Structure 1
Amino acid sequence: MPLPSEPLRKLGFLTIGLFDGADPRPGHESTLEIIELGERLGFDSAWVRHRHLQYGISSPVAVLAAASQRTTRIELGTAVIPLGWENPLRLAEDLATVDVLSGGRLNPGVSVGPPMHYDQVKEALYPDSAEVENFGYERVRRLLDFVGGEPATDFSGVEGIEVFSDRVEPHSPGLRDRMWYGGGSLNSARWAGENGMNFLTSSVVKAEGPDSEPGGHDFAGIQLAHVREFRAHHPDGAAARVSQGLVVIPTDSATTEQRAKYEAYAAQRLPRTTSPQGPARLLFAPDLVGTSAEIAERLYAHAAFREIDEVAFALPFSFDHEDYVQILTDIATNLGPELGWRPAA
Structure 2
Amino acid sequence: MPSTPRPLRKLGFLTIGLFDPADPARGHESTLEIIELGERLGFDSAWVRHRHLQYGISSPVAVLAAASQRTRRIELGTAVIPLGWENPLRLAEDLATVDLLSGGRLNPGLSVGPPMHYDQVRDALYPDTGDSEDFGHERVRRLLDLVRGKPASDFSGVEGFEVFSDVVQPHSPGLGGRLWYGGGSLGSARWAGEHGMNFLTSSVVKAAGPDEEPYDFAEIQRSLIREFRAHHPDGAAARVSQGLVVIPTDSASPEQRARYAEFAAKRLPRTTAPQGPARLLFAPDLVGTSAELAERLRADPAFREVDEVAFALPFTFAHEDYVQILTDMATKLGPALGWRPAV
TM class by smaller structure: over 0.9
Corresponding residue number in structure 1 for 2:293: 295
Q: Percent of aligned pairs with the same residue?
A: 82
Give the counterpart letter for 2:315 in structure 1: F
**TM-score scaled by length of structure 2:** 0.98
Q: CA deviation at 1:213?
A: 6.3
Q: Deviations over 1:164-194 (max 9, x none)?
A: 1000000000100000000000000000000
Secondary structure of residue in 2 paired with 1:93? helix
Q: Deviations over 1:116-151 (max 9, x none)?
A: 000000000000000000001000000000000110
Corresponding residue number in structure 1 for 2:280: 282
Which of 216, 227, 230 is the matching residue for 1:229?
A: 227
RMSD across aligned C-alpha pairs, in angstroms? Answer: 0.9
Corresponding residue number in structure 2 for 1:59: 59
Q: CA deviation at 1:214?
A: 2.7
Q: Distance in 2 between matches of 1:254 and 1:313?
A: 18
Q: Deviations over 1:85-118 (max 9, x none)?
A: 0000000000000000000000000000000000
Corresponding residue number in structure 2 for 1:207: 207
Q: Distance in 1 between matches of 2:120 and 2:214?
A: 37
Q: Distance in 1 between matches of 2:183 and 2:212?
A: 23
Q: Distance in 2 between matches of 1:20 and 1:337?
A: 35
Secondary structure of residue in 2 paired with 1:31? helix
Give the counterpart letter for 2:156 in structure 1: S
Q: Contact 1:2–1:305 (CA<8 Å) still a contact in 2?
A: no
Q: Distance in 2 between matches of 1:330 and 1:208?
A: 36
The total of aligned residue pairs comes to 341
Q: Distance in 2 between matches of 1:270 and 1:42?
A: 31
Unpaired runs of at least 5, structure 1: none
Corresponding residue number in structure 2 for 1:116: 116
Unpaired runs of at least 5, structure 2: none
Corresponding residue number in structure 2 for 1:15: 15
Q: Distance in 2 between matches of 1:127 and 1:281?
A: 30
Secondary structure of residue in 1 paired with 2:55? coil
Secondary structure of residue in 1 paired with 2:264? helix
Give the counterpart letter for 1:314 in structure 2: A
Give the counterpart letter for 2:305 in structure 1: E
Q: Distance in 2 between matches of 1:10 and 1:37?
A: 16
Q: Contact 1:2–1:308 (CA<8 Å) still a contact in 2?
A: no
Q: CA deviation at 1:256?
A: 0.5
Q: Distance in 2 between matches of 1:214 and 1:309?
A: 33
Q: Distance in 2 between matches of 1:247 and 1:167?
A: 39
User: Stretches of 4+ moved more than 4 A in 1?
Assistant: none
Matched, 1:134 2:122: no
Matched, 1:185 2:185: yes
Which of 218, 225, 247 is the matching residue for 1:220?
A: 218
Write the mapping of 1:265-280 to structure 2, written as runs, cut at 5 A: 265-280=263-278
Corresponding residue number in structure 2 for 1:30: 30
Q: Distance in 2 between matches of 1:19 and 1:29?
A: 9
Q: Distance in 1 between matches of 2:208 and 2:73?
A: 39
Q: Deviations over 1:4-45 (max 9, x none)?
A: xx3100000000000011210000000000000000000000
Q: Distance in 2 between matches of 1:11 and 1:136?
A: 31
Secondary structure of residue in 2 paired with 1:12? strand
